Structure 1
Amino acid sequence: MAHEITQPLPLEVLKSVESLGGRIRIARLRRRLNMDELAKACGIGRRTLYRIENGEPGVAIGFTLAVLWKLGLLDTVRAVADPDDDEHGKILEAARRPQRVRARAPDNDF
């Protein structure tokens, strides 16, 4: 049973999913693969591939990644949410660090 979305997704999210689907479709067509061939190679149904290419947001991310893998594009996803590129997160983390460091007590062992 499919889960219902209780709140609409932000427009930016919907546009991103739609854009990704379009790029996947272009990659499939450039490789001269029909939908049945690619879907079978990924272990998904033709309808699922259709939904990915049409930018439907309810498709499991694992299916989308499987399609990208089969198209040889999985490496392009590695930069998504890379902690090294998360400038905002780095700033928040730095703000939580202690402002000063206490000096260690002198070692009084004689």
Structure 2
Amino acid sequence: MPSKPPVMFPSDTRILERLGERLRLARLRRRFSTELVAARARISRTTLYRAEKGNPAITMGVYLRILAVYGPERDLDRLAADDTLGRELQDATMASRGRSS
């Protein structure tokens, strides 16, 4: 029995739906069939369909394999590469502690 999809905020659901729509458009623009993409990504057509619908139960690994078929999977590597806010928070915490060496 498949697991229940996680409960998500509506804004997060919309983000996944937009990602799924972009994946579907990437497939259609390349004139790739669902069979071809599913085979190359080593997933079922049902999983591809669910990813293109933005199903929150689809894993990040599946999205990465689908993107690898289209080429822009390297873009995922940049998602959290420059965490400016995190660095500023870390610096502020270190400054307030008075770094001791």
The alignment's TM-score, normalised by the length of structure 2, stands at 0.87
- Relative to structure 1, is the Cα distance of residues 87 and 26 closer, same or farther in structure 2, using a 3 angstrom cutoff? same
Identical aligned residues as a percent: 32
- 1:24 corresponds to 2:49: no
Which SS does the other structure have where 1:20 is aligned? helix
- Relative to structure 1, is the Cα distance of residues 62 and 101 closer, same or farther in structure 2, using a 3 angstrom cutoff? closer
CA shift, 1:81, in A, is: 1.5
Which runs of 4 or more aligned residues in structure 1 lie more than 4 Å from their structure 2 counterparts after TM superposition? 98-102
Q: Looking at both structures, which has the greater relative contact order when contacts are Cα pairs under 8 Å and sequence separation is at least 6? A: 2
- Relative to structure 1, is the Cα distance of residues 50 and 96 closer, same or farther in structure 2, using a 3 angstrom cutoff? same
Q: 2:4: which partner in 1?
A: 4
CA shift, 1:2, in A, is: 2.8
Residue identity in the other structure for 1:95: A
Residue identity in the other structure for 2:87: K
CA distance in 2, matches of 1:15, 1:76: 20
Which SS does the other structure have where 2:78 is aligned? coil
Q: 1:92: which partner in 2?
A: 89
CA distance in 2, matches of 1:52, 1:101: 46
Over aligned residues, Cα RMSD in angstroms?
Answer: 1.9
- Consecutive unaligned residues of structure 2, counting only runs of 5 or more, are none
CA distance in 1, matches of 2:46, 2:25: 17
- Post-superposition Cα deviations, 1:66-106, rounded to whole Å, max 9, x if no partner, equal 00011111012122112x2x22211210112145466x9xx
- Post-superposition Cα deviations, 1:38-84, rounded to whole Å, max 9, x if no partner, equal 101111000000000011110111111000011111012122112x2
Rg larger for: 1
- Relative to structure 1, is the Cα distance of residues 71 and 5 closer, same or farther in structure 2, using a 3 angstrom cutoff? closer
